[in-house]
Structure 1
Amino acid sequence: MTKILLVDDHRLVRNGIRLIIDTHDKLSVVGEVDSAEDALIYLEQNALPDLVLTDLNMQGMDGVSFIRMAKKIYPDLRFAVLSMIEDPVDVAEAFRSGADGYLSKGGDYDEILFGLLRLSQGHKYLMTNFGLRFMETFDVENSGTVDVTSRLSQYEISEREFAVLELIAQGFTAVEIADKIFLSKRTVEGHRQNLMDKTKSKNTADLIRFAFQQKLLS
């Protein structure tokens, strides 16, 4: 169970995200606060959550400053941003401050839930609707994760497809992959076929070879 702290100065947003999180038995909201300052107090006085999900624009301390400060105190704590802001410069700054993921409040239910699940599994996550606008701005030399995201965008490979690709390369079957990333077997097989089409691979072995040659996997 991944325990999540919500940090947002709009109660309606917190309620909406809580409803999304409550639909999955592997995610749980353990607390919610309406400011970065209150979040720091919460972290000091309570058991640490597994993930802090924070807005960027809030009254008082902003999200980037909050993440940067909290990471100095709790370097192993994971953070993700949930914001309406989609400016590549702001997205880049969030990652540089120590964020592990960036989700858009304008994203659909499934995409937000998928991103949270990926983050809960220890991955970094950038919501796919940011696309190349972000990659053209971010200093990729400072982030291997973002460098991979740039190459994924080049081949139009989505985060879901990349998650499937990683597990295929580890030798998991379609059924096992479906269980791990909470998709149906049919959907996993569809993602595998899409990957083969996008990379012009004849079979799974070709797909894995391509992924390593193009440094999509390492």
Structure 2
Amino acid sequence: MSKIRILLAEDHLVVRNGIKLLLDGQANFEVVADVDNGKDAIDKITSGLAVDVVITDLSMNNMDGLQLIKEVSLNFPSIHVIVLTMLDCEQHVLKAFEYGAKGYLVKNIGSEELIFCINHIAKGGRYLSEEVTMGLINKSIAYSKMKNIEVDPIDIDLSSRELEVLELLGEGYTNLEISKKLFLSKRTVEGHRQNLIDKTKSKNTPALIKFAVLKGLIQ
């Protein structure tokens, strides 16, 4: 039985090493490369590395996960891409599948679900993690109960990193706490927060959070 050859793209070294250790422990998996950005992933594939599945985060420097999905889907359609991220907002889920992803997982899933997802997708299937699926269902239910609130669709053009910061702001984290969780400087986080306020035309952070909830960007 041939092994499923996996390329892992994840910019946090500790997380990447942990995932690699888990996958290499499976008899039918082989992590043939692990990189910290999308460009290096594309370079590995272009150089001739045989890959069946790419597992990628979304927030990475030097080509993020969404761009990586587009590049792989366009130029290497036989390779299946699975998103593994902490971002569970509807906007990113839809974009990932629109660009060609075959699976979408959040990072707090169990190892059994990750292994099942890889095997399922390697056979030609698609997969959306249970948590994301239930989140979308619950959001749909909530929308049906809020018919009196009219929301016009807008193009906010938020980056993956900005949405990551937005989710943590919605959970009540401070700039300093967010900087530690995302391995960013406090100044960079402050810049992302201000960009979010500017792009959404919010007066302040509480108004930003209210806007994000109403627009379905966070729960």
Does TM, scored on the shorter chain, surpass 0.5? Answer: yes
Which residue does the alignment assign to 2:41?
39
Which residue, 38, 47, 50 being the options, matches 1:48? 50
Which residue does the alignment assign to 2:23?
21
CA distances 1:75-108 after superposition (whole Å, capped 9, x unpaired): 2221111101111211111011100001111111
Which residue, 95, 104, 107 being the options, matches 1:105? 107
- Deviation, structure 1 residue 46: 2.7
- Deviation, structure 1 residue 54: 0.6
Which residue does the alignment assign to 1:133?
135
CA distances 1:13-53 after superposition (whole Å, capped 9, x unpaired): 11111122122111110011111111111111132300011
Which residue does the alignment assign to 2:123?
121
Structure 1 alignment gaps of length 5 or more: 139-218
Distance 1:116 1:28 in 2: 12
User: Would you say 1:88 and 2:90 are equivalent positions?
Assistant: yes
Distance 1:18 1:62 in 2: 20
| Higher relative contact order, chain-length normalized (CA < 8 Å, sep 6+) | 2
User: Would the aligned equivalents of 2:7 and 2:34 in 1 still touch at CA under 8 Å?
Assistant: yes
Distance 2:129 2:27 in 1: 22
Identity of aligned residues (%): 33
Structure 2 alignment gaps of length 5 or more: 141-219
User: 1:4 aligns to what SS in structure 2?
Assistant: strand
Normalised by the size of structure 1, how large is the TM-score? 0.59
- Deviation, structure 1 residue 63: 0.6
User: Would the aligned equivalents of 2:24 and 2:30 in 1 still touch at CA under 8 Å?
Assistant: yes
Which residue does the alignment assign to 1:77?
79
- Deviation, structure 1 residue 133: 2.9
Cα distance 1:47–1:137, how it changes in 2: closer, same or farther (>3 A)?
Answer: farther
Distance 2:70 2:43 in 1: 15
Moved over 3 A (4+): 135-138
User: 2:101 aligns to what SS in structure 1?
Assistant: coil
- Deviation, structure 1 residue 122: 2.0
User: Would the aligned equivalents of 1:89 and 1:137 in 2 still touch at CA under 8 Å?
Assistant: no
Distance 1:57 1:83 in 2: 8
User: Would the aligned equivalents of 2:105 and 2:132 in 1 still touch at CA under 8 Å?
Assistant: no
Normalised by the size of structure 2, how large is the TM-score? 0.59
User: 1:53 aligns to what SS in structure 2?
Assistant: strand
User: Would the aligned equivalents of 1:51 and 1:78 in 2 still touch at CA under 8 Å?
Assistant: yes
| Counterpart residue identity of residue 104, structure 1 | V
Distance 1:18 1:61 in 2: 21
